[in-house]
Amino acid sequence: MRFVEEYRDPALMRGIADAIVRRATRRWTIMEVCGGQTHAIVEHGIDQLLDPAVELLHGPGCPVCVTPLETLDRAAALAEEAGAIVCTFGDMLRVPGTRGDLFSVRARGGAVRVVYAPLDAARLAERTPDRAVVFLAVGFETTAPAVATAARWARARGLGNFFLLVSHVRVPPALEAIASAEDTRVEAFLAAGHVCTVMGTAEYEPIARRHRLPIVATGFEPVDILEGVALAVEQLEAGETGVSIQYRRAVRPAGNPAARAILDEVFEIADRPWRGIGVVPGGGFALRSAYHALDAERAFPLLAARAPVTEPAACRAGDVLRGALRPPECPAFGRACTPEHPLGAPMVSTEGACAAYYRWRGAEACA
């Protein structure tokens, strides 16, 4: 398939990897910041190809994984206690909250539906005016414009029964938090190409300058990732820091102006909790005052009474999401925590690091 197969060419992958190994004068530590990249790295053995020259750390690049437990519990409460129809993307249904996942909520009679786009949920609200419909809005800057479009559509039609449970997060503040941590080992970042396609690369410039590290906006295929690593290693070896773009077939420095405009109309930047990391200043989006009527947390008083919750003690998902622990190093990995019986979101999300190791390394990872 054109534009896919050439980015998975084994000979080309090996050639780039060998060039990186020859160029490196020491072992560099680089973090990729997208779960799609993590899966490609583990599936194609990119970390093993680069092992003499580069250690790849897996960052918090899965928006499903960083959605807080409290958000899952609030979605469950809306379906079971408030009688709302809760709509979301399919990969959210198996993410565990303290009262089970949304699949179990649906099994107990709660109205939980999978939609393919936020606008589907808004249209459902228009068709069922006697029921509250809540869209569980998760994701990075990539999915937020589609949610903003649905919000604008619902507001223009005066829908009084459509709401958003917002848990959108922003990538640059998370990179700032990781780079600022006292125990950080990150020397360069591979930024998520799809996020940069929407937002551009300007937000990464201050982070690169402040922490004196390279940031490369990188695609998701094996050749993309290896080229991104090569650009990062070249900067590291030259003692340079800055932001560069590997994923030039999709990313422009200014991003997508139309997507950014609707984001700015509907959302404002807010502090946001990340599962396993904690509250990240400026780490997410919240609805602007003009859209407060769509805010589920304002519309449903029962959500304000939810008590704080904590991760299961055996789950080390927070350490995995910060790059402090590889999934196989977690004592529960492949034993107490499996895709069939997950303790944390990284084991069930299609972009989770734990799921990547379990799927592509299997018994080798569990050994």
Count the domains in the chain.
3
Give the phi and the psi of residue 48 in degrees, each rounded to 5. -75, -35
Residue 223 is assigned to a structural domain of this protein: yes
Distance CA 306, CA 302 (A): 7
Tokens of 61: 């690049």
Same domain, 52 and 180: yes
pLDDT at 307: 63
Query: Residue 180's domain is classified under what CATH number?
Result: 3.40.50.11750
For all residues of the chain together, what is the average pLDDT? 93
For residue 271, count other CB atoms closer than 10 A to its CB. 12
pLDDT tens, residue by residue, 36-95: 999 999 999 999 999 999 999 999 988 889 998 889 999 999 999 999 999 999 989 988
Whole-number percent of the chain with pLDDT over 70? 97
Same domain, 190 and 56: yes
Residue 85 is assigned to a structural domain of this protein: yes
Which three-class secondary structure state does DSSP give residue 124? helix
Nearest one of 116, 63, 137 to 350, comparing CA atoms:
63
Same domain, 160 and 285: yes
For residue 180, count other CB atoms closer than 10 A to its CB. 11
Distances (CA, A) of 317 to 160, 228, 330, 339, 346: 38, 26, 9, 14, 7
Report which of residues 156 and 1 the model is more confident about.
Answer: 156
Tokens of 281: 């200043």
Same domain, 87 and 155: yes
Give the phi and the psi of residue 264 in degrees, each rounded to 5. -70, -30
Residue 311 is assigned to a structural domain of this protein: no
278 CB-near residues (< 8 Å, 6+ apart) = none
- Burial (CB < 10 A; 0-12, 13-18, 19+), residue 99, is middle
For residue 308, count other CB atoms closer than 10 A to its CB. 8
In the predicted model, is pLDDT for residue 1 greater than 60?
no
8 A C-beta contact, residue 352 and residue 62: yes
Same domain, 212 and 293: no
Which residue, 245, 270, 290, sits at the end of a domain? 245
Range of the domain at 328: 317-366
pLDDT at 43: 95
pLDDT band, very low/low/confident/very high, at 2 (cuts 50, 70, 90): low
Distance CA 45, CA 36 (A): 14
Distance CA 366, CA 331 (A): 9
Distances (CA, A) of 135 to 74, 163, 165, 346: 12, 6, 6, 22
Which three-class secondary structure state does DSSP give residue 356? helix
pLDDT at 175: 95
Residue 310 is assigned to a structural domain of this protein: no
Residue 132 is assigned to a structural domain of this protein: yes
Average pLDDT estimate for 198-206? 98
8 A C-beta contact, residue 275 and residue 64: no
Q: Calculate the dihedral angle through the C-alpha atoms of 88, 149, 281, 169, rounding to the nearest 10 degrees.
A: 40
Residue 211 is assigned to a structural domain of this protein: yes
Q: Report residue 35 CA to chain centroid gap.
A: 7
Give the phi and the psi of residue 21 in degrees, each rounded to 5. -65, -40
Which residue, 198, 213, 245, sits at the end of a domain? 245
Residue 308 is assigned to a structural domain of this protein: no
Distance CA 47, CA 55 (A): 7
In the predicted model, is pLDDT for residue 212 greater than 90?
yes
Same domain, 139 and 279: yes
Same domain, 260 and 164: yes
pTM above 0.95, yes or no: no
Same domain, 125 and 270: yes
Amino acid at 6: E
Q: Supply the DSSP symbol for 295.
A: B
Same domain, 76 and 155: yes
pLDDT at 364: 62
Residue 312 is assigned to a structural domain of this protein: no
In the predicted model, is pLDDT for residue 363 greater than 60?
no
Distance CA 125, CA 36 (A): 32
pLDDT at 365: 62
Same domain, 335 and 239: no
Same domain, 134 and 265: yes
Same domain, 100 and 200: no
Tokens of 7: 């980015």
Nearest one of 272, 299, 303 to 285, comparing CA atoms:
272
pLDDT tens, residue by residue, 238-272: 999 999 999 999 999 999 999 999 999 999 999 99
In the predicted model, is pLDDT for residue 313 greater than 90?
no
Query: Residue 94's domain is classified under what CATH number?
Result: 3.40.50.11740
In the predicted model, is pLDDT for residue 189 greater than 90?
yes
